[in-house]
Structure 1
Amino acid sequence: MSAFLQEFDLASHATDDAPTIAIKDSIDVAGYPTTAASEALADSAPALRHAPVVQRLLDAGWRITGKANMHELAFGMTSINEFSGTPVNPQDPARIPGGSSSGSASAVGLRLVDAALGTDTGGSVRCPAACCGVIGLKPTFGRVSREGVAPRQTSLDCVGAFARDMNTIIDVMLAIDPSFQGGHARRDATRLRVALPEVEAADEIRHAVAAAVARSRFASRGVQLEFMRDAFPAGLAIINAETWRAFGHLVDSGKLGLDILARLRAAANTQVSELDAAERIRRDFTDEVDHVLEDADVLVLPTMPSLPITIEAARAGTSVIAMSSLIRPFNLSGHPALTLPVPIEGTSLKAGLQIVGRKGEDETVCAVAACIEATLASHA
Structure 2
Amino acid sequence: MNIVAEDVHLGSGMLTVMVKDSIDIQGFKTRSGSRSLEDSAVAENHADVVARVLANDCKITAKTNLHELAFGITGINHTFGTPLNPKYPALIPGGSSSGSAAAVAAQLADFTLGTDTGGSIRMPAACCGVYGLKPTFGRVSRNGVHPETSSLDCVGPFANSVEMIETAMQIIDPSFSALNAIEQTPKLAWLDVDADVSIISCIEKFLSQRNLDIGHEHVASFTDAFHAGMQIINYENWQAYAALTKTGLIGADVQGRLLKAAETTQEQVQQAEQIKKIFTQEIDALLEQYDALILPTLPQLAPKVVDAENTVAFLNLTALVRPFNVSGHPAISIPLETEQGFPVGLQIVAKRNADEQLCAIAKFVVKAAQ
Compute the TM-score of the two structures, normalised by the length of structure 1: 0.95
Q: Which deviates more from structure 2 when the two are superposed, residues 224-233 or residues 3-12?
A: 3-12
Residue matched to 1:11:
11
Q: Matched residues in 2 for 1:43 and 1:336: separation?
A: 35
**Contact 2:253–2:310 (Cα < 8 Å) also in 1:** no
Whether 2:240 is the aligned partner of 1:209: answer no
TM superposition shift of 1:187: 2.3
Q: Matched residues in 2 for 1:317 and 1:325: separation?
A: 14
Q: Residues 277 and 189 of structure 1: is their aligned pair in 2 closer, same or farther, counting only changes over 3 Å?
A: farther
TM superposition shift of 1:214: 3.0
Alignment-mate amino acid for residue 289 of structure 2: D
Q: Matched residues in 1 for 2:192 and 2:185: separation?
A: 22
TM superposition shift of 1:9: 1.9
TM superposition shift of 1:232: 0.6
Q: Residues 239 and 32 of structure 1: is their aligned pair in 2 closer, same or farther, counting only changes over 3 Å?
A: same
TM superposition shift of 1:115: 0.9
Where structure 1 has 5 or more consecutive residues not aligned to the other structure, the ranges are none
Residue matched to 1:39:
35
Q: Where in structure 1 do 4 or more consecutive aligned residues deviate above 4 Å?
A: none
Q: Matched residues in 1 for 2:174 and 2:147: separation?
A: 23
Deviations 1:324-367 (A, max 9, x none): 000000000000000000232x2222310000000000011101
Q: Matched residues in 2 for 1:247 and 1:2: separation?
A: 24
Q: 2:330 aligns with which of 322, 336, 350?
A: 336
Q: 2:356 aligns with which of 348, 359, 363?
A: 363
Q: How much identity, in percent, do the aligned residues show?
A: 44
Whether 2:277 is the aligned partner of 1:283: answer yes
Alignment-mate amino acid for residue 350 of structure 1: P
**What is the 5 A alignment of 1:214-363?**
214-315=208-309, 319-344=313-338, 346-363=339-356
Deviations 1:182-222 (A, max 9, x none): 1x2x4225421101110111112112222333323221100
Q: Matched residues in 2 for 1:249 and 1:51: separation?
A: 23
Q: Residues 250 and 206 of structure 1: is their aligned pair in 2 closer, same or farther, counting only changes over 3 Å?
A: same
Deviations 1:273-312 (A, max 9, x none): 2111111110000000000111001001000011111111
Residue matched to 1:57:
53
Q: 1:132 aligns with which of 128, 131, 149?
A: 128
Q: Matched residues in 2 for 1:104 and 1:198: separation?
A: 30
Where structure 2 has 5 or more consecutive residues not aligned to the other structure, the ranges are none
Alignment-mate amino acid for residue 325 of structure 1: A
Structure 1 vs Structure 2 CA RMSD: 1.3
Residue matched to 1:372:
365
**What is the 5 A alignment of 1:33-182?**
33-182=29-178
TM superposition shift of 1:316: 6.3
Alignment-mate amino acid for residue 199 of structure 1: V
Q: Which deviates more from structure 2 when the two are superposed, residues 92-101 or residues 209-218?
A: 209-218
Q: Matched residues in 2 for 1:267 and 1:316: separation?
A: 16
